[in-house]
Amino acid sequence: MKNVFLLAKSLFNLSNNILISHRIVLTLGLIVYINQLHTYEPTSEVENEV
């Protein structure tokens, strides 16, 4: 019975870690996307100057 509890606990922790990692990946993706939008405008201006 104790083994089943430990197995369920480890599976629960694993699912929590997966959710956290997905959240981290999504937030990193948003940060990179926003940074690309911000850096895209100055680079296009520099290209126009050259």
- What pLDDT is attached to residue 26? 92
pLDDT at 6: 93
Please state, in angstroms and rounded to a whole number, the distance separating the CA atoms of residues 20 and 38: 27
Can you give the chain as a three-state secondary structure string? CHHHHHHHHHHHHHHHHHHHHHHHHHHHHHHHHHHHHHHHHHHHHHHHHC
pLDDT of residue 2: 86
Q: Which residue in 45, 30, 3 sits closest to 11, CA to CA? A: 3
Domain boundaries, the chain: 1-44
- Residues of the chain with pLDDT below 70 are 40-50
Which tokens belong to 21? Answer: 């990692």
The confidence score (pLDDT) of residue 18 equals 87
Name the pTM for this structure: 0.48
